Amino acid sequence: MENTSPASASSSRPLATPPRVARQDDTAALPTLIDVKGLDFYYGAKQALFDINIAIPDRRVTAFIGPSGCGKSTLLRCLNRMNDLIDGTAVKRGEIKIRDIDIYGPSVDPIELRKRVGMVFQKSNPFPKSIYENIIYGLRIQGVKSKTKLDEVVEKSLRGAALWDEVKDRLHESGLSLSGGQQQRLCIARTIAVAPEVILMDEPCSALDPIATAKVEELIHELKKQFTIIIVTHSMQQAARCSDRTAFFYMGKLIEFDETHNIFMNPKNPQTEAYVSGRFG
Amino acid sequence: MTAPFHRYTSRRGFQRRTESTIVWFFRFATYVILLCGVFIIGNICLKGLPAVTGAFRSLEQFPYVTNTFIFEAPESLYVFKHEGVKREMGDAEYRAFRETETARATAEGRPVPEFKASSYVYAAGGIWPCIVGTLLLVVGAMTIALLLGVASAIFLSEYARDGAFVRFIRLAILNLAGVPSIVFGLFGFAMFVLYFNWNVSLMAGWFTLAFMVLPVVITASEEALKAVPKGFREGSLALGATKWQTIRKNVLPYALPGILTSSILGIARVAGETAPIMFTAAYVVRDKLPWEVAKFSDFFFQGVMALPYHIYVVSSKIPQNAYTQRVQYGTAFVFLGLVALIAGSSILLRNKLRGRYQW
Ligand SMILES: Nc1ncnc2c1ncn2[C@@H]1O[C@H](COP(=O)(O)OP(=O)(O)OP(=O)(O)O)[C@@H](O)[C@H]1O
Ligand SMILES: [Mg+2]
């Protein structure tokens, strides 16, 4: 096992990280982190995803958009195997590779996978513990005991989630005493505290007001320097503002996946065009 | 002049009368219940209190005061006339008195006095062994019931897949809740006392009582676990926790106040039921206290006296007379107080836990 030291997000990354591409518009050449090939996914007898092929670039923001029930959350939850928790779900065909490892392969432990592929939920879910305990939850689980290390991670994660200045004097108050937007950033801080490679966000701003939303979006902008981010959103503006690439789903199929700029300005598929211009969905 | 008539004019008559009759009926029903409650509790307190308050004695050493009704074992009461004075004494006191009087008479050269006493069983002394026995039964049975109950509730609500089998288990548990306590008593007798050969013992009583309250504990624990939001589980799992880590760190602590609430109801039942223990754990009388055993393992395999069974014995198994009422009501009074004490402390504990986690 490689270095799982969760404290430092950057050090837990394999050494041979591909060089960052600085310019925004040549994303076509980006290295792939997550490669989904021919994925068919079922809830019991009901097929929810049909032949999904998508290559998600490393350290970029990818947005999933599409009308309700089209399978965005389903695909997202396939990426950290959260769907395993629902009875009767199955990947019937295809594969998902993260750094060339098939995450549905027999040697993969979903617990280890979820440490590397974190998730932020639509409904912010801080645990009814102190802010401090919330952040170190993942490390406690991994058996980290050193107080200095925990303190360090708490500060680093809260700074990373742009929350440090607001809560540094009340670390031992309940996480539930924060405002909705702060709670969502606390959940993000909790996720980055275990130093994942990928952060999955399922409609992270849908319960937030515009100002809190703007803060989270700013944060996403910061976070993509270190993490690969996939965000599901119902807000076209949000997808346009904060993602590099956008995938449009419809009825369990991936209709179009391209640079965000192209999806909104110059969609190739008429369905995509109809959706982004607000004609359906 | 007639009153102005409009569409909101009040309509006296039938409808109104029915309304107020019904309200009065509800009110009446509530007051009747209240009255019964006050009467029962009041009666027990009124008749039972003197047994306790009249039993304070001063001591030579440390606590300096004791209560013979609470802290002594039951004794026979001896009532006799001595030198023209009517006296009432407990067994031990009576023997000592007889000896000293005989010695005194011999020393003074008088004829040895005759003692013609009538004795009344259990009418003197106290109920300490019963209090101890009931406490032991409650603690042991609740421990077993909570361990088994919470474990199976966790299995049913967190691990088991919802299917015919789980539904069957739930149905069985529900049915178990409706089984009369005497049936549990017989089951415990057949299973633990005879088949496992534990004899009449704490162990047999613990398991019988635990099985009796298990349905309540399981059902309520499941409810409490279900009340913990799904997001806490998902959030924990998404951080790379295993299922058991999630349950232990992020589900069970929040469900605990709810589980305790249910077990408070269980405590009153465990402490109060006579039928399950009368064949399995309760002795009519036992001289030794539970900790006076030769070896440690004997502790679990001894019978004990218990408050509800003692009430049953002193009110229906011994000849009734002027002296039995003191024990009957006194025991009932102490019993009520004890249950209130245990339940009260669990409520305090629950409130403390509840204050810690809120969402
Ligand atoms: N637990 C489940 N069991 C069975 N079917 C499910 C389950 N969850 C989702 N589905 C179905 O799978 C399909 C895709 O659902 P999914 O939640 O992925 O949609 P979504 O794109 O995230 O929608 P939304 O924008 O409303 O969140 C839907 O038809 C839904 O009914
Ligand atoms: Mg969704």
Buried b (16+ CB within 10 A) or exposed e, A224-251: bebbbbbbbbebbebbbbbbbbbbbbbe
CA distances, B74 to each of B3, B71, B307 (Å):
78, 10, 12
Whether B297 and B223 share a structural domain: yes
A118 touches chain B (CB under 8 A): yes
Whether B165 and B237 share a structural domain: yes
> Phi/psi of residue B54, each to 5°?
-80, 5
Whether B95 and B210 share a structural domain: no
Please check whether residue A177 is in contact with residue A169, taking contact to mean a CB–CB distance below 8 angstroms.
Answer: no
Whether B297 and B184 share a structural domain: yes
This complex has an ipTM of: 0.86
Task: Work out the number of other CB atoms within 10 angstroms of the CB of residue A111.
Answer: 16
Q: Give residue B193's domain range.
A: 128-356
Amino acid at site B260: L
In whole angstroms, give the CA distance from residue B261 to residue B272: 18
Flag if A176 and B231 touch (Cβ within 8 Å). Answer: no
Whether B94 and B203 share a structural domain: no
Q: Judge whether A71 lies within some domain.
A: yes
Q: How far apart are the first and last CA of chain B?
A: 64
Whether B185 and B309 share a structural domain: yes
Give chain B's largest Cα–Cα span: 110
Whether B85 and B226 share a structural domain: no
Q: What is the pTM of this model?
A: 0.83
Q: Judge whether B18 lies within some domain.
A: no
pLDDT tens for each residue of chain B, 359 residues long: 566 677 777 767 778 888 899 999 999 999 999 999 999 999 999 999 999 988 888 888 888 888 889 998 999 999 998 888 888 888 888 999 999 988 998 998 888 888 888 889 888 888 999 999 999 999 999 999 999 999 999 999 999 988 899 999 999 998 998 999 999 999 999 999 999 999 999 999 999 999 999 999 999 999 999 999 999 999 999 999 999 999 999 999 999 988 888 788 888 889 989 999 999 999 988 888 888 888 888 899 999 999 999 999 999 988 888 888 889 999 999 999 998 998 888 888 888 887 777 76
Task: Extract the residue ranges of chain A whose pLDDT is less than 50.
Answer: 1-25
Please check whether residue B231 is in contact with residue B242, taking contact to mean a CB–CB distance below 8 angstroms.
Answer: no
- Strand, coil or helix: what is A272? helix
The residue out of B120, B137, B153 marking a domain boundary is: B120
Whether B101 and B133 share a structural domain: no
In whole angstroms, give the CA distance from residue A227 to residue B77: 85
In whole angstroms, give the CA distance from residue A245 to residue A224: 13
The residue out of B92, B120, B148 marking a domain boundary is: B120
Helix (H) or strand (E) holding B123: strand B118-125
Q: What is the CATH number of the domain that holds A232?
A: 3.40.50.300
> Phi/psi of residue A108, each to 5°?
-90, 130
**Chain B closest-CA separation from residue A114 CA (Å):** 5
Q: Judge whether A268 lies within some domain.
A: yes
> Phi/psi of residue A109, each to 5°?
-95, 120
Give chain A's largest Cα–Cα span: 56
Q: Judge whether A2 lies within some domain.
A: no
Angle at B263 between CA B71 and CA B145, to 5 degrees: 90
In whole angstroms, give the CA distance from residue A23 to residue B350: 59
Please check whether residue A259 is in contact with residue A248, taking contact to mean a CB–CB distance below 8 angstroms.
Answer: no
The residue out of B65, B99, B120 marking a domain boundary is: B120
A141 touches chain B (CB under 8 A): yes
Q: Which residues of B touch A80 (CB under 8 A)?
A: 238
In whole angstroms, give the CA distance from residue B256 to residue B225: 9
Q: Judge whether B33 lies within some domain.
A: no
**Chain B closest-CA separation from residue A201 CA (Å):** 12
Q: Judge whether B177 lies within some domain.
A: yes
Number of independent structural domains in chain A: 1
Sheet of A89-98: strands edge to edge?
A46-57, A32-43, A89-98, A101-102
Q: Judge whether B21 lies within some domain.
A: no
Q: Judge whether A134 lies within some domain.
A: no
Q: Which residues of B touch A125 (CB under 8 A)?
A: 229, 231-232, 234-235
Whether B98 and B236 share a structural domain: no
Please check whether residue B240 is in contact with residue A115, taking contact to mean a CB–CB distance below 8 angstroms.
Answer: yes
Residue A29: the pLDDT is: 66
In whole angstroms, give the CA distance from residue A23 to residue A20: 9
Nearest to A190 by CA among A15, A2, A5, A6: A6
Please check whether residue B109 is in contact with residue B62, taking contact to mean a CB–CB distance below 8 angstroms.
Answer: no
Flag if A142 and B240 touch (Cβ within 8 Å). Answer: yes
Amino acid at site A184: Q
Q: Judge whether A259 lies within some domain.
A: yes
| Encoded tokens for A251 | 């009825």
At A27-52, the pLDDT tens digits run 556 789 999 999 999 999 999 999 99
Q: Judge whether B296 lies within some domain.
A: yes
Number of independent structural domains in chain B: 2
B231 touches chain A (CB under 8 A): yes
Q: Which residues of A touch B237 (CB under 8 A)?
A: 82, 85, 114
Nearest to A196 by CA among A2, A4, A65, A67: A4
Substitution target from B157, B234, B239 for chain A, most A beta carbons within 10 A: B239
Q: What is the CATH number of the domain that holds B159?
A: 1.10.3720.10
Helix (H) or strand (E) holding A18: none
Q: Judge whether B11 lies within some domain.
A: no
Helix (H) or strand (E) holding A149: helix A147-160
In whole angstroms, give the CA distance from residue A137 to residue A121: 16
SS3 content of chain A, % helix, strand, coil (to 5): 35, 25, 40
| Encoded tokens for A212 | 């809190």
Q: Judge whether B251 lies within some domain.
A: yes
Q: Give residue A100's domain range.
A: 28-125+196-276
Q: Pick the ligand that lies closest to the CA of residue A85.
A: 1
Q: Judge whether B253 lies within some domain.
A: yes
